[in-house]
A and B are shown apart, each in its own frame.
Chain A
């Protein structure tokens, strides 16, 4: 039995390390897959999803009653400007870090005129002329718009409202 102790010790050490690494890496890996899917079919900026149908497969558990837009951001090259215009009913802008944490949300009750933020990496100095500055815990992440749109008519209104929204490299205005 004594001869097996080093063997069992190695099994235990490798097992604990692999267990911890898997738990920590899982949300990042799933987010990476989601960000890759969301960034497909075009360059940077908002991707306005068509009305959610039974065929939607980009993100698990989508709501068919909401109009979604997504922007995969990368702060490696500097701050970004993210804007969201208001629409008639409920809407919100939410930001997710690379580990899937929802670190920022603003809805129509808190910002009736819409949202315009400058997104910077945590600890980075905000650029001159920046509007409301929000710090991201990670360089990459996802911004998501949700607009209440339970009918085709409501979806058309929400869709029109979001067409001028920005998600791009910061430039002083």
Chain B
């Protein structure tokens, strides 16, 4: 009798653990599953959308709660360098780009916990109003832990390993909304690793 009860209790506990565990695993990878590529960046077209499926809704809530729908803002995310390695505070990167098909844009660095890194550099992001660009609108920014000798800087100080960059396009053009994968996203290049310069 007791053995029988224990058997059914074990079945319920095992089923519950498998169900919850598999759900959390799928949600953890959900952002990748529902993403399109734009260069090396990824886009989640359904962020904030009422058309999002339950898995997308759950994964977006975890990494981008209160995101705007794509009609208002397109969010791009970059978490790897040109060789597929996780972005690291120990490396120095160059980010190059040009005019964006939107009314306003910004690029912000987030630590692996999805919050801003706790640093004092006052260089958490660059945006369309502050970036120093040439006459054609082309710009280059350094992503590094220490302040570089460069006009545009995003600080990775205190970001650790596995940080990411988020590009926001506010009021994107009709063409960008229709084909976000064709947006000319900035390019990231690793300059050096293993030092703090």
Contacts and interface: CB of A to CB of B under 8 A. Distances in A.
Interface residues on B, range: 35 or more
Contacts of B22: 15, 19
A18 B71 contact: no
A15 B15 contact: yes
B147 interface: no
Nearest to B69: A102
B23 A18 contact: yes
Contact of B129 (A7, A8, A60, A150): A150
Interface residues on A, range: 35 or more
Contacts of B27: 22-23, 26
* Interface of chain A: mostly helix, strand, loop or mixed: mixed
Contacts of B64: 60-61
A55 B117 CA distance: 8
B23 A92 contact: no
B67 interface: yes
A99 B10 CA distance: 32
Contact of B11 (A11, A103, A148, A151): A11
Contacts of A171: none
Given A10-B8, A57-B115, A64-B108, A26 B58 contact: yes
B104 A148 contact: yes
B66 A105 contact: no
Contacts of B106: 63, 65, 150
Interface of A: 7-8, 10-24, 26-27, 30-31, 34, 52-57, 59-65, 89-90, 92, 94, 96, 99-103, 105, 107, 109, 142, 144, 148, 150-151
